Chains A and B, each alone.
Chain A
Amino acid sequence: MKQNSVAAGWLSVLCAGLGQWYNKQYSKGLLFVLIHATGVYLISTTLLTKIKGLITLGDQGQHLEKVGKIFKNVPGDHSIFMMIYGVLSVIIVALYIVFYILNIRDAVAVGRKRDSGSAVKGLNNDIFPWALLALPIIGVLFFTIMPIVFTSLLAFTNYASPNHIPPKNLVDWVGFDTFHKLFNMNVWADTFTGVLTWTIIWAVLATVTCYFGGILVALLINQQGIKLKGFWRMLFIIPYAIPQFVSLLIMRNMLNEKFGPINQYFRYFGLEGLPWLNDPFWAKVSVIVVNMWIGIPVSMVLVMGILTTIPKDLYEAADVDGASAWMKFRNITMPYVLFATAPILITQFAGNINSFNVIFLLTSGNPATMKYNNAGQTDLLVTWLYKLTLDFNQYNIAATVAILLFLIIAVMSVLLYSRTRSFKEEDMIQ
């Protein structure tokens, strides 16, 4: 009785589609055979060489040859292209293997159905939604997975200026050398730990200040007896509405120690003013304060929305019990706001770790320091990454930093999120 499933299974192992054919699913079998044939053809003709290229990364770079008076360009292997094609080929081969395994499972499953005497359907109309799904699957593979894999792989090569830039020079696999460099070689290690420390301090401070600043402003505006509420709301939202490219560059000029208006006001009152962007400490203060100016409106709008959802009777009950304003805030408002915004707080934290605009436009990572390699005192990991790739072409170090940055953000987000009450007590608010 089991013969059908066994036979179909083995036939499918022999060649994808044969089992389906045996199961009398002719069109499906034909499709599978075709895919099998294309797959085998592509793997034997090109994919295997491409995968080999991924392993060797080429053995002869492009070079010039002189013929008579003229130099002729002799093309060679381009390690980075080989890497991209190699990764693509691996993905295609992996897809093919998954297809092959599922094909066998399908043949066996249909065979079992036949063994047990139930009817076998061919390809039918329900295919449509799955046909639609095929496109996103390809999209995710090639536009999400592929670049991530490619970037991660760069961290294990020596792809960096000046000596390993294709097409003339080849890039080689160096294993964990780059990580080793980043942690042990003085210039890199000092920069990495210094920049990482400031990145975390910055992310915590920026998140906390904007968040509580936003709550404070929202509560203030919502107080009874505050007039012109609409006006205040508009006033506070304006910084958010101006593109940061404009406002931050203006801020940068305003904070100029010698020529900036802020210090000129100070001087007007007989004070010397502060070295806003010139001193490492004050530069850090400056970016955090300016970031509050940009970030508070977001939390403010958010909190204002939440405040309207808190049932009024809670406050009335509290009034009856004679609770002070602080107690009401502590026991009613704050839990509600925290509960609703905790997940957003975490995304803000992760966002602040990667907060490129504020740093890049306001200080460009300056003030410069001799202690760091290719980074300044206010550089975050992400702005350092920018400098490493676009200004200094240190792609392998940059890829390594990117991987570490990703790990940090992922781990922190997961840890924080799993600790929030919105995750633990999902049904507090119905």
Chain B
Amino acid sequence: MNKSKWLLVSLVLAMVFVLAACGGKENNDASSTPSASAPAATESASAPASEEAPAEEYLPEEGAKLVVWYSASEKALVDEAAKLYKEKYGIDIEYQDVGPDKSIEKMITDGPAGVGADVFLAVHDRLGSAVQAGVVLPNDLHGEESTANNSDKSVEALTIDGQLYGYPMSVETTAVFYNKDLFPDTNGEAPKDWNGVIEFAKKFNDAKAQKYAYMWEVGNGYWSWGFFGGYGGYVFGKDGTDPADIGLNNAGSVEAAKFFGSLKNLILPIKAADIKADIKTSLFNEGKLAMNVSGPWQVGEFKKSVANLGVMEYPTLPNGKPMMPFSGVKGFLVNANTKYPIAAKLFAELISSEALQAKNFELFGSLPSNKNVAASATVSGDPFASVFLKQFDNSTPMPKIAEMAGFWGTHEAALSSLWNDGADAQTTMDDWAKKVKDSNAAAQ
């Protein structure tokens, strides 16, 4: 009897705490979560704006304070933009270290809870998921300027169903770095087509000394896509927007798979999983690798280690067509749950403007999406940036529909079996296409 009495008393106390806590939470709900207060802020801000519809001037909300997500290594750009923004509108920017590769994932989980960034950088290939989850606002205020100022491909990459969502910032694709000192017979010029590469590999490759002519991360769909794209293969139809039309086993893809699989014996007798980015980089730095497939982000590093560094577009395929690697477009996005949508949009526009894209190139060598910056003497005269920009024209922006998860979930297995086991091209590609289809059906 005593026992139950004590249980009762402790329960009572528990209840008091719980009810008190609960009451507190309710108040909180009403007053401070963004879902409740955001519309009010939006309304008060947009009401005067929409009355004087043609007027250009949109002003940030009163008392706005913005949070920006950007990768730590390139923080200097945000600092620069924050300084300009503060001068113009007197609003402070808080910086947080969330890189573009994981910002959308984080926004989908954190954004609705009110703890996401107001403005964040993202790569376009996850945009489909973001729009489907409803966590980003369209680029409405500056849509026309963004479209006019940036390259068509970059605008297209950040557009879904005809609506532009992002503020294009930079583009990214891959090309072939080469060590001029290793091509003495051709005056330091690397072969421009695959037959040339294969010929060169016959002379140059030496498995004992670990010398290789040409290397890329074979088992990774991002790095190997150039072959498939070049032969006319595609993942999803209608520019990557139709998940019902899978092109992984069309005639071009199968042709590409055959050529891809044959290369193991011809130029790179290593299993797919053994080729790691760090191994590839160190071989190239030591002069044991002649041609190294990588992206513009490694220009600075290679310049230091390789005395005579060159970069060129991918070698031409045996069918005479250029390879079409995947490319990514980075752009700023505005959180749909932001308390200060106008201020956020103004900042996104400012940081992706011509001046700051030029600054971004100057600081980090990021390839601008802005037409004027790309055409400027500093960029077009740069022996590395100009090649990457040309390669960007010969590239396929990664499809951005959410179904791409099916592709990324299967790419390694499919490519490895083509490469390691010399699996039959037609069967493997059929399998791959079916696998992507299945995995999308399984996720329904």
Q: Is the CB of B141 within 8 A of A95?
A: no
Q: Is the CB of B274 within 8 A of A109?
A: no
Within 8 A of A (CB), among B12-32: 12-19, 22-23, 26
Main secondary structure of the interface of B (DSSP, over half): helix
**A70 at interface by CB-CB < 8 Å:** yes
In angstroms, Cα B307 to Cα A240, docked, is 43
Residue of B nearest to A259 (CB): B279
In angstroms, Cα B442 to Cα A392, docked, is 12
**Hey, which chain A residues are within 8 Å of B43, CB to CB?**
72
As a 0/1 sequence over residues 47 to 61 of chain B, the CB contacts with chain A under 8 angstroms (1 = contact) are 001100100000000
Q: Is the CB of B274 within 8 A of A278?
A: yes
Q: Is the CB of B137 within 8 A of A64?
A: yes
In angstroms, Cα B134 to Cα A61, docked, is 9
**Hey, which chain B residues are within 8 Å of A75, CB to CB?**
35-36, 38-39, 337
Within 8 A of A (CB), among B402-444: 402-403, 405, 408-410, 412-414, 416-417, 420, 431-432, 435, 438-439, 441-444
Q: Is the CB of B405 within 8 A of A161?
A: yes
Q: A71 with B273: in contact, given A62-B336, A259-B210 (CB under 8 Å)?
A: no
**Hey, which chain A residues are within 8 Å of B105, CB to CB?**
390
**B140 at interface by CB-CB < 8 Å:** yes
A-B interface contact total, Cβ < 8 Å: 210
Complex partner residue of B19 from A35, A135, A188, CB under 8 angstroms: A35
Residue of B nearest to A31 (CB): B12
Within 8 A of B (CB), among A50-78: 61-64, 66-75, 78
Residue of B nearest to A257 (CB): B274
Q: Is the CB of B10 within 8 A of A131?
A: yes
In angstroms, Cα B50 to Cα A392, docked, is 41
**Hey, which chain B residues are within 8 Å of A258, CB to CB?**
270-271, 274
As a 0/1 sequence over residues 144 to 170 of chain A, the CB contacts with chain B under 8 angstroms (1 = contact) are 000000000000000011110111110
Q: Is the CB of A127 within 8 A of B9?
A: yes
Residue of A nearest to B271 (CB): A278
**Hey, which chain B residues are within 8 Å of A109, CB to CB?**
1, 4-5
Q: Is the CB of A161 within 8 A of B23?
A: no
Complex partner residue of A169 from B133, B336, B435, CB under 8 angstroms: B133
**Hey, which chain B residues are within 8 Å of A160, CB to CB?**
443
Complex partner residue of B417 from A137, A167, A370, CB under 8 angstroms: A370
**A39 at interface by CB-CB < 8 Å:** yes
Which of B18, B26, B219 counts the most chain A CB atoms within 10 A? Answer: B18
In angstroms, Cα B436 to Cα A374, docked, is 11
Q: Is the CB of B46 within 8 A of A161?
A: no
Within 8 A of A (CB), among B122-142: 128-129, 132-135, 137-138, 140-141
Complex partner residue of A73 from B5, B12, B137, CB under 8 angstroms: B137
**Hey, which chain A residues are within 8 Å of B410, CB to CB?**
370
Q: Is the CB of B442 within 8 A of A32?
A: no
As a 0/1 sequence over residues 18 to 31 of chain A, the CB contacts with chain B under 8 angstroms (1 = contact) are 00000000000001
Q: Is the CB of A130 within 8 A of B6?
A: yes
Q: Is the CB of B132 within 8 A of A73?
A: no
**Hey, which chain A residues are within 8 Å of B13, CB to CB?**
130-131, 134
Q: Is the CB of A92 within 8 A of B19?
A: yes
In angstroms, Cα B35 to Cα A275, docked, is 54
Q: Is the CB of B11 within 8 A of A73?
A: no
Q: Is the CB of B337 within 8 A of A73?
A: yes
Complex partner residue of B219 from A126, A167, A368, A394, CB under 8 angstroms: A368
Q: Is the CB of A42 within 8 A of B22?
A: yes
Q: Count A interface residues, CB 8 Å.
A: 80
**A369 at interface by CB-CB < 8 Å:** yes
Within 8 A of B (CB), among A97-118: 98-99, 102-103, 105-106, 109
In angstroms, Cα B129 to Cα A394, docked, is 13
In angstroms, Cα B129 to Cα A135, docked, is 41
Output the least CB separation between A214 and chain B (Å).
Answer: 32
As a 0/1 sequence over residues 242 to 277 of chain B, the CB contacts with chain A under 8 angstroms (1 = contact) are 000000000000000000000000000011011010
Q: A168 with B133: in contact, given A62-B336, A73-B336, A278-B274 (CB under 8 Å)?
A: yes
Complex partner residue of A165 from B49, B108, B439, CB under 8 angstroms: B108
**A96 at interface by CB-CB < 8 Å:** yes
Residue of B nearest to A38 (CB): B19
**Hey, which chain B residues are within 8 Å of A188, CB to CB?**
442
Provide 5 A-B residue pairs closer than 8 Å at the C-beta atoms, listed in order of the A residue: A67-B50, A98-B11, A134-B14, A161-B402, A366-B273
Interface residues of chain A, those whose CB is within 8 Å of chain B, are: 31-32, 35, 38-39, 42, 46-47, 61-64, 66-75, 78, 81, 88, 92, 95-96, 98-99, 102-103, 105-106, 109, 123, 126-127, 130-131, 133-135, 137-138, 141, 160-163, 165-169, 181, 185-188, 256-259, 275, 277-278, 366-370, 373-374, 376, 390-394
